[in-house]
Amino acid sequence: MNSLLSISQLSAFKIKNLCNLASCIEKETIKPYCGGKIIATLFFEPSTRTKLSFQTATIKIRGTVIDLDNNSSLKKGESEEDTVRTVSQYADLLVIRHPKRGGVDHLASYSSVPVINAGDGGNEHPTQALLDYYTIKKRKPTGKITIMFTGDLLQSRTLNSLVKLLDMAKDDYELIYSNGANEQLQLYKHTQIDENQISDIIHKVDVLYMTRFQIERYTAVNNPYRSNFVMSKELANKMKGDAIIMHPLPRLTELPPEIDSDPRAVYFEQVKNGLYVRMAILLGCLEK
Ligand code: NCD
């Protein structure tokens, strides 16, 4: 049984295997079955998609979900560490989200069963990266791909994990960043552009990956550069006919609903793919 705490733990081979398994699940060529295992979701930070898709994925592989709700003994002052120790006596696997960088790694050391990182502060979100990659490969299986990242490049954990994954998968990618990339993202070969150049470059990109401003990760003191980029029909008209527009969601004003009817908008497809990918991840982590 294995934990998934960071994308760095996976090899190119494992990433391809997980995507193949997710694809078999999607095409219904296999009937995924986990042997009635119990999965606990412990979210110390808000979530809609990640939590509900892990819970749905568990039900679909015929496991059972237990969830730490807002009425746990944390309210009586019990520590997160003791909470994790306790729940790992009940469940076969824990899915944990935490507001602090490294918070999931820390809590995993108190668990007696494998842990999946469902997002730790502005650091990593490995399962989102896998579903993003799966979505990209489904739409663009071969050839060099140019990906432009916009929005909050300082605190978006989805970007940290996806860029790491793209590097590890050894596919042919060109990365373009708009303003504000963090130190982690700077480690990878990329082209840096200013946000007001997006409209001149957008015709070249195969994947536009947007993110929201991570408002909960900033205080008035550390409030840095804030993106003003807003997607529009006019910009979409400049994009390639077979480009895709991605967003991990939730969105704020950067991605207006008028884009949703564009066939290149795949953000709700990402949501759907997340289910297949998370079923594959759960099976992988539960494997003996
Ligand atoms: C992302 C997250 O939680 O990092 N959402 C998600 O899991 N789909 C993106 C975000 O919150 O902006």
pLDDT tens for each residue of 179-219: 999 999 999 999 999 999 999 999 999 999 999 999 999 98
What is the distance in A from the centroid of ligand 1 to the CA of 224?
Answer: 20
From residue 117, alpha-carbon distances to 90, 264, 287 in Å are: 19, 30, 17
Q: 125 CB less than 6 Å from ligand 1?
A: yes
The per-residue pLDDT for range 116-167, each reduced to its tens digit, is 999 999 999 999 999 999 999 999 999 999 999 999 999 999 999 999 999 9
Look at ligand 1, atom 6, and give the residue with the nearest C-alpha. Answer: 248
Dihedral sign for Cα atoms in the order 119, 124, 125, 126 = negative
Bridge partners of 39? 65, 93
CA distance linking residue 267 with residue 270, whole number of Å: 5
* Structure confidence by residue, pLDDT tens digits, 80-129: 999 999 999 999 999 999 999 999 999 999 999 999 999 999 999 999 99
b/e burial code for range 83-114 (CB count within 10 A of at least 16 → b): bbeebbeebbbbbbbbeebebbbbbbebbebb
Residue identifier of the C-alpha nearest atom 8 of ligand 1: 248
Q: Tell whether ligand 1 has an atom less than 6 A from the beta carbon of residue 155.
A: no
